[in-house]
Amino acid sequence: MIVLGIETSCDETAAAIVTDAREIRANKVLSQLAEHAPYGGVVPEIAARSHLDHVDRLVREALAEAGAKLSDMDAIAVTGGPGLIGGVIVGAVTAKTLAQVLGKPLINVNHLEAHALTCRLTHDVAFPYLLLLVTGGHSQLVAVEGVGRYRVMGTTIDDAVGEAFDKTAKLLGLPYPGGPAVERAAKAGDASRFALPRPLLGKPGCDFSFSGLKTAVAQTVEGLGPAPSEQDVADVAAAFQATAAEALSRRTRNALETFASAFPRARTLVVAGGVAANGAIRNELAALAGEHGFDLVAPPPALCSDNAAMVAWAGLERMKLGLTDALDFKARPRWPLGEVRAT
Amino acid sequence: MKHILGIDASTTACSAAVLTGDTIAAWRFEAMERGQAERLNPMIGEAMDEAGIGFGDLSLVAVTTGPGAFTGLRIGLACARAISLAAGVPLAGITTFDALARAVSDDERGAMAAAGGRLLVCVEAKRRDVFVQLFDADLAPVGEAGAMDGEAARVALADGYYLLAGDGAEHLRPMLAGNPHVRFSAALAPPDARHVAAIGAARGPSPQAPRPFYIRPPDVRLPARG
C-alpha cells in the first residue's frame, strides 16, 4: 500500500508519500518561517494564503521524488485538524478533491495522532507505549494503546512547553521560533546562575504547568536591566531549558509509574512533536527511561517537526483498520486526541 | 460535446454546474454562510453524476477567484487546482464581479444602456463595506476593483445613472435611498456556478493557474498557535 499525505495545519506546507513497508518515498516540507518571522509568530491568514499558493506544487514534487503517479496512490490522507482552520481547510479540500477525482479512499487524520504514531513508522514500536507529546500548542502524556485508542494521562493546565520556549526566546531577544534559538543560546550558559521555580514540584499526577515559569523568566530578564550581556542571555536560556526539561521529566516519571503498572510488559517511552528535537529534553527523558528499564524512542528531528510523512503513515494505519472518511468531513480547529474515532 | 464544470464558494453560497455545449446539464446551488468545505465536493459529485460524466470528460474547470470571503475563495481554488492536478483539466479563473455581472438580465442591461448608465457590481465582503467594480452595458469592466461602504457610495454615485447588482448591493441601499439615478437590479443573489461555467466557456483557459483575488492584505493579528 502507498499513501499520499498532506499537511497544512500550521506554518509548514507539506506533502509526502509513504508505503506500508515503512518506506518514506518522498517527504517535501516548505517552511513559511520567513513569511511569519516579522510578526514573531504565525499569522493565520498569511499561513492560509501561503498553503494555497504551494500545496499542489508540493504534491507534484513529492510524486516526482517518489517516481510515482497520483493514480498509483491507494489513498489520500490529510490533516483535518487541530490547527489554524484556514490552512487546514486548504489541505482538506485539496485532499478531498484528489480522492474524489481518483476514486480513492480519503483519510482524515488528527495532527496529534500523526505525531503519536510516527514512532511506528520510524522504529516499528509495538502498542502499548507511553507518549510524551510536546509541540508549540500541546504538552501531553498519552497511553497509546492502539490506533485511535489514546488515553490522555496528563496535559498542560495553562501553556504548552513550546509556547514557553517561544516566549523565553522573545524575552531574550532571540529569533523566532524560540525552541532551537533557546537551545543554541543555552549551550554557552550556566543553568545554575538563576534558580527558577520548578512547576508543580511535589504535586501528584502528570499534568503540566508552564505559565509560572514563563513569568519567572520575564522577571529574571527584567532584573538584568535594559541591555543584558550575551552571557546573561545564555545563562537565562540555560536555566529555563534545564527547568523545563526537569519538569517534563519529573511529570513523565509519574505517568511512567502508573503506565508501567497498568501495562507490565510495555517497555517503550516515546517523545514526539516539535519540542522533542531539543537535546536537553531528550537527555533527561533517556535517563528517566533507563532508570525504569524502558527504552526512549524519539523520531529524528525532521519527523518530529510538522511534516506530511507522519500524516501519510497515520492514514495507512487507519486505512488498515477500515477507518476511511467521506468527502463531507469537517475540518476542525480543535480536536483533542481523546476524541479521535477508533471504529 | 464539450463539458465544463463551474464552481463557486466565494461568498454566501456554494454551487457547482456542468455546462454541456450551451446547456446546463446539471446544477447544484445551496445558500450557506459557511460549510462550503464540507459541501462543495459532494455537490460536484452529484452534478457530475446527474450529467453522466466523469472528471476525464471535462475540457475546462471554471472557478471564481474573488473577491469574496478569503476562506471561501481558497475552497473553490483549492478544489479547482486539485481537479487540474489529478485529471489534467485546464482552469479558467473568473472574478466574482464577472460572475455577478452575468446574472443581470438583458432587459435591465438594455434599460441601463438606454439611460447612459453603468453597472456597479457589489460583492458581499462579510464586513461593513462591500467590494465593487464598474461595468459598461457590454459587461466590460470600466474601473478598478475596490471596496466602499454606504457613505462612500453615496458620494461616489452622486452623479450619473447606476444599476447596482450583486449580493453586496443591499448593504448600500439605505445610504442611496434618496438618489433617483440609482436602480437596483433583480440580480442580488450570490455568485452562481452556471454563470461561472458560461463565462469560462466563452473565454477558455486562463494563461496562468488562477490565483485568488483577495483585494485586501491579511489582517495581521496577534500570533496564534496550532
Instruction: Count contacts between A and B (CB, < 8 Å).
Output: 120
| Domain co-membership, A291 together with A241 | yes
Judge whether A55 lies within some domain: yes
CA distance A118 to chain B (A): 18
> Are A105 and A198 found together in one domain?
no
Q: Helix, strand, or coil here: B90?
A: coil
The reply to whether A277 and A135 lie within a common domain is yes
In a domain, A86, yes or no: yes
Q: Determine the topology of domain B105-184 in CATH.
A: Nucleotidyltransferase; domain 5 (3.30.420)
| Residue B118 · residue B163 · CB < 8 Å | yes
Pairing label, strands B3-8, B13-20: antiparallel
Q: Which has more pLDDT, A62 or A39?
A: A62
pLDDT of chain B, 226 residues: tens digit per residue? 899 999 999 999 999 999 999 999 999 999 999 999 999 999 999 999 999 999 999 999 999 999 999 999 999 999 999 999 999 999 999 999 999 999 999 999 999 999 999 999 999 988 889 999 999 999 999 999 999 999 999 999 998 899 999 999 999 999 998 899 999 999 999 999 999 999 999 999 999 999 999 998 897 755 444 4
**Which residues in chain A are closer than 8 Å to B214, comparing Cβ atoms?**
49
> Which residue, A138, A47, A147, is CA-closest to A335?
A138
- Minimum-distance CB partner of A60 among B85, B214, B226: B85
Question: How far, in whole angstroms, is CA A131 from its chain's centroid?
Answer: 11
Question: Do B223 and A136 count as a contact with CB atoms less than 8 A apart?
Answer: no
pLDDT computed for residue B89 by the predictor? 98
Q: List the single residue in A with minimal CA-CA distance to B38.
A: A328
Number of domains in chain A: 2
Same domain, A159 and A178: yes
A36: Cβ contacts below 8 Å, ≥ 6 apart: A11, A42, A43, A46, A47, A176, B223
> Does the structure's ipTM exceed the value 0.85?
yes
| Contact residues, chain A, for B220 at CB < 8 Å | 39, 43, 45-46
**pLDDT per residue over A136-194, tens digit each?**
889 999 999 999 999 999 999 999 999 999 999 999 999 888 899 999 999 999 999 99
* pLDDT of A296 over the 50 cut: yes
Domain membership flag for residue A41: yes
**Residues A205 and A158: beta-carbon distance below 8 Å:** no
Query: CATH number of the domain at B3-97+190-203, please?
Result: 3.30.420.40
Residue at A132 is within a domain: yes
- d(Cα A77, Cα A311) in Å, to the nearest integer? 6
Range of the domain at A208: 127-298
Contact (CB<8Å) B224/A45: no
In a domain, A63, yes or no: yes
Q: What does the CA dihedral B25, B30, B36, B39 come to, rounded to 10 degrees?
A: -60
Does one domain contain both A220 and A326?
no
pLDDT, tens digit, 9 for 90 and up, residues A34-55? 888 888 788 999 999 999 999 9
Let me know: does A294 contact A268? Beta carbons within 8 Å.
yes
In a domain, A122, yes or no: no
CATH number at residue A258: 3.30.420.40
Q: Where are the domains of chain B?
A: 3-97+190-203, 105-184
pLDDT of residue A41: 80
Task: Kindly identify which residue of chain B lies nearest to residue A111, measuring between CA atoms.
Answer: B226
Domains B3-97+190-203 and B105-184 belong to one CATH topology: yes
